[in-house]
């Protein structure tokens, strides 16, 4: 694990995409019309992992933006 350097290089990659943190945050805060949870709790395949250690009760497995 190289923790901090991973974090810094990720920051550099995000900057290269010409995306502001405001836009990135807004992107991850979009809610799912299937389960009502934010995109950020859906994994890379779209499956919802739930919030606050509670699994998603809807069994959502595809993120669908509202
Ligand atoms: Zn969910
Ligand atoms: Zn969902």
Give average pLDDT by consecutive 10-residue segment, the chain, 66 residues. 86 91 94 97 96 93 95
Q: If you measure from the C-alpha of residue 41 to the centroid of ligand 2, how many angstroms do you get, rounded to a whole number?
A: 8
Q: What is the pLDDT of residue 55?
A: 93
**Closest ligand relative to 45 C-alpha:** 2
In angstroms, the CA 40 to CA 48 distance is 9
> Are residues 36 and 16 both part of a single domain?
no
Please tell me the total count of domains within the chain: 2
Tell me, what's the pLDDT at 3? 85
Q: Name the residue among 39, 5, 36 with its Cα closest to residue 24.
A: 39
Residue 53 C-alpha to ligand 1 middle, in angstroms? Answer: 12
- Identify the nearest ligand to the CA of 50 by its number: 1
Report the pLDDT value the prediction gives residue 41, as an integer from 0 to 100: 96
48 in Cβ contact with 56 (< 8 Å):
yes
Residue 19 lies in domain: 1-30
| Secondary structure (3-state) at 11 | helix
pLDDT score recorded for residue 1: 54
Q: Are 25 and 35 contained in the same domain?
A: no
């Amino acid at each position: 694990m190289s923790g901090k350097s991973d974090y810094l290089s990720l920051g550099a990659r995000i900057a290269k995409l010409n995306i502001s943190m405001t836009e990135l945050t807004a992107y991850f805060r979009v809610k799912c019309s299937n389960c009502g949870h934010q995109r950020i709790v859906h994994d890379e395949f779209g499956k919802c992992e739930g919030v606050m250690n509670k699994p998603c009760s809807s069994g959502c497995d595809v993120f669908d933006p509202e």
